[in-house]
A and B are shown apart, each in its own frame.
Chain A
């Protein structure tokens, strides 16, 4: 019996040791590790195909595909950077890059990227990945927030259907939501599990900026009239008009879809990529449409944090890594990635692809918004994650649920918020 136990232990140890890391091969082709966060079936397939195509065409620079996870990506990357074991090519989002860029973990791509790629992506997109004087990521996929609406309810209520050329104003949107409401039914459902980024990004349409950078480069929070438009609309829809339920304020976008399909909500503001889930889950006879988010004084402008590709500062083959990124983001390839993720490409050439201008699934509406997308307001603000978690999220949640008023919201965002930001700007 003891012999058997000892044998089993030895086998287990051997198996564990057998699965240990092997050494790097020397003198062979260069190997780049590419950590991709693509997760939907189509986007994973598209990414893997592109990696295979690269490997077939570049036998001397092999790319190893590693599937990462959006869940915990920041901590995983931070630890890998600190330990000097980060992937060579890193997929992330621009709002996660600031600390890595300022911390010196990412390579400055300014001189590594070819002119074709630099000129093929608009300056407003490059701004999302520019920190200080350097470019630390290539923005390649983005998604505006749109209104997914029940086409039958809109028709029945005889409301004007907005288009990117003639969008609703925020006031008009509020009126429409009221008209679409009835007993047990709501005109709109706001899934605001992440209330800060949603509010801040949409507030750009009304001229809201919230973060103001002074001449000395220091950022302070100032809650102006433009910042109040979207926040007040949501608050009033929930607490005054009752055209939006309070129950969805803590929900994620997916949680609102059953209510949307079941007729409880006529409209749901969601990210553009949610269409994939809607196509999968909507009942066969359910007719839905994609509408632009309401416009404010600044039109349809809204903030986005594009997905990015970066190169680790420790990568010994930065030129090759940049060449791989350039290959991955050629216009045709960018379209493949965008279609796989149900998002919009940032590249101007890619945006002209006919597949992105079809009326089916609202592609054309989203593509029409691409020119109005700007860097999310908090993009390069150091201390933003702490300000968001400790100050802004609870403050907005309390305001939307009616627990505090606009003055209290302003006071907390500014007074408490500036104390937090000051610690990062000493």
Chain B
């Protein structure tokens, strides 16, 4: 195959979907020049309202993170105040220092990063071809597989943990980050697959037909035609797998034994005692730092994701 570019005249925007149709009814023609003053004022007021609503929404979304940051910078005395303030009266880094002094946070973060990255990469590598097959071959088996994927999400952790533990023990993968990564991949795979199937269906099949006309086989079509157009979907799926693995606690608690292999969520619970009593300041400091990698990964992938989340939503 010499060229993968489709010959058919399907106009594709960057997201890989056909361009929306133009409005057939022309807009009412406006008089040239600036709109009249009352309309300008209305428009400005509407814009201000939109920004105010957006700001409120952002605050609502960011509230837990901001509160965590505020708590992390407060002294124990201020944490015991009846009227908590947003901005700490005497901001102190003592909680951050104490958190790092008491627990191996950096090492645990590295463990979490390895596991989360491994999960994201492997889950995407497995889910992409599977999703392609399930989306393009609408056989009974594919439908049954899709149903099984949805059903498998319903199994609670406690139901599978002991058999899973025994399987991993036989494979000598207990107390191993590799073993934990495999578990996370298996755990994230159904939903990742489900997400990606929608994205694959959103890619016009005509493109693949055009590639086939050019002599491309299934694998070549998937790698060179479909996969590049799945960028947003793959990014969204990778982020989902990353965040799932980054935040997961129970499997990590049960499957990892050595202190040097514990992941961040497990280490965070070391700030919590019996009956839920917590060392709040250091816990908030450590938890705030633990959220940053997720935010960073989201920041890096967000452009692709916003397209990706919508791509599978409607059938084009």
Residues of A within 8 A of B (CB): 9, 12-13, 15-17, 19-21, 33, 37, 39-41, 44, 65-67, 69-72, 75-76, 78-80, 82-85, 87, 93, 193-194, 252-254, 257-259, 261-264, 271, 273-274, 277, 280-284
* Residues B165 and A83 in contact, CB atoms below 8 Å apart: yes
| Contact, CB under 8 Å: B254 / A80 | yes
A298-B68 Cα distance, complex, nearest whole Å: 46
* B98 adjacent to chain A (CB < 8 Å): yes
Taking a contact as CB atoms under 8 Å apart, the answer to whether B274 and A261 are in contact is no
Q: Chain A residues near B83: list those with CB within 8 A.
A: 262
Contact A20–B272 (Cβ < 8 Å)? no
Which of B98, B114, B118, B269 is in CB contact (< 8 Å) with A41? Answer: B98
13 A-B pairs with C-beta separation under 8 A: A13-B178, A16-B118, A19-B261, A66-B259, A69-B272, A70-B269, A75-B158, A83-B162, A87-B257, A252-B276, A262-B81, A280-B76, A284-B77
List residues of B (80-104) whose CB comes within 8 Å of A's CBs: 80-84, 98, 102
Which of chain B's residues have a CB closer than 8 A to the CB of A264?
Answer: 82
Report the bound CA distance from A284 to B81 in whole Å. 12
Give B110-139 as 1s and 0s: 1 = Cβ < 8 Å from A's Cβ atoms.
Answer: 010011011001000000000000000000
Q: In the complex where A72-B249, A261-B80 touch, is A79 in contact with B161 (Cβ < 8 A)?
A: yes
A257–B76 Cα distance when bound, in Å, is 12
Is there contact, CB below 8 Å, between A66 and B277?
Answer: no
A1 CB to closest chain B CB (Å) equals 12
- Does B140 have its Cβ within 8 Å of any Cβ on chain A? no
C-beta contact mask, B266-293 vs A, less than 8 Å → 1, else 0?
A: 1001111111111110000000000000
Q: Are A253 and B277 in contact (CB under 8 A)?
A: yes
**Chain B residues with CB below 8 A from A83, complex form:** 162, 165-166, 169, 174
Contact B266 A258 (CB under 8 A): no
Q: A33-B257, A69-B269, A79-B161 are in contact. Are A20 and B173 (CB under 8 A)?
A: yes
Chain B nearest CB from A363 CB (Å) reads 19
Given the known A-B contacts A16-B114, A72-B250, are A252 and B77 also in contact in the complex, defined by CB atoms under 8 Å?
no
* Beta-carbon nearest neighbor of A13 in chain B: B118
The answer to whether B77 touches A39 (Cβ under 8 A) is: no
B contact residues around A283 at 8 Å (CB): 77, 80
Which 5 A-B pairs give the minimum distances between C-beta atoms? Answer: A262-B82, A281-B80, A20-B176, A69-B269, A280-B76
B253 interface hit (Cβ, 8 Å) = yes
Residue contact A259 to B82, C-beta cutoff 8 Å: yes
B79 interface hit (Cβ, 8 Å) = yes
Q: How far is the CB of B243 from chain A (nearest CB, A)?
A: 18
Cβ-defined contact, B76 with A67, below 8 A? no
* Complex Cα spacing A284 to B280, Å: 19
CA–CA, A164 to B172, complex, Å? 56
Nearest-CB residue, chain B, relative to A87:
B257
Knowing A281-B77, A281-B80 touch, does A21 contact B174 (C-beta < 8 A)?
A: yes
Given contacts A12-B114, A194-B275, 19 further A-B pairs with CB under 8 A are A9-B121, A13-B118, A20-B177, A39-B272, A40-B279, A69-B272, A70-B269, A80-B254, A83-B165, A85-B169, A85-B174, A252-B275, A254-B276, A254-B277, A258-B82, A262-B83, A281-B79, A281-B80, A283-B80
Closest approach, in angstroms, between the C-beta of B265 and any C-beta of chain A?
A: 10
Instruction: Contacts A20-B177, A21-B176 given; indicate if A281 touches B76 (C-beta within 8 A).
Output: yes
Residues of A within 8 A of B84 (CB): 258
Q: Which residue of B lies closest to A263 (CB)?
A: B82
Chain B residues lying within 8 Å of A262, measured Cβ to Cβ, are 81-83
**A78 — which chain B residues lie within 8 A by C-beta?**
162
Within the assembled complex, what's the spacing in Å between the Cα atoms of A259 and B82? Answer: 6
Q: Check A12 against B269 for contact (C-beta < 8 Å).
A: no
In the complex, which residues of chain A have a beta carbon less than 8 angstroms from the beta carbon of B208? none
CA distance A84 to B175 in the complex (A): 13
In this complex, the member of B80, B169, B257, B278 whose beta carbon has the largest number of chain A beta carbons within 10 angstroms is B80
Residue contact B161 to A75, C-beta cutoff 8 Å: yes
B contact residues around A39 at 8 Å (CB):
270-273, 279
- B80 touching A82 by the CB < 8 A rule? no
Do the beta carbons of B273 and A12 come within 8 Å of each other? no
Pair B178/A19 contact, Cβ less than 8 Å: yes
Give CA–CA (A85, B255) in the complex, Å: 10
B266 touches A69 (CB 8 A): yes
Q: Determine whether the beta carbon of B178 is less than 8 Å from that of A82.
A: no
Give every chain B residue within 8 A of A19 (Cβ-Cβ).
Answer: 111, 114, 176-178, 261
Closest to A305 in B: B274
Query: Which chain A residues border B172 with CB–CB below 8 Å?
Result: 21
**In the complex, B71 has a CB within 8 A of chain A:** no
User: Is there an interface contact between A82 and B166, defined as CB atoms closer than 8 Å?
Assistant: yes
In the complex, the answer to whether B277 meets A252 with C-beta atoms within 8 Å is yes
Q: Contact check, A15 vs B114: say whether CB atoms are below 8 A apart.
A: yes
Contact in complex: B102, A70 (CB < 8 Å)? no
Q: Report how far A369 CA is from B83 CA in the complex, Å.
A: 35
Q: How far does the alpha carbon of A132 sit from the alpha carbon of B198 in the complex, in Å?
A: 58
Whether A75 contacts B254 in the complex (CB less than 8 A), given A254-B280, A274-B277, comes out as yes
Task: Check if B272 sits within 8 Å of A71, measured CB to CB.
Answer: yes
Q: Are A16 and B115 in contact, with the CB atoms below 8 A?
A: yes
Whether A12 contacts B121 by the Cβ 8 Å rule is: yes
Give CA–CA (A12, B111) in the complex, Å: 11
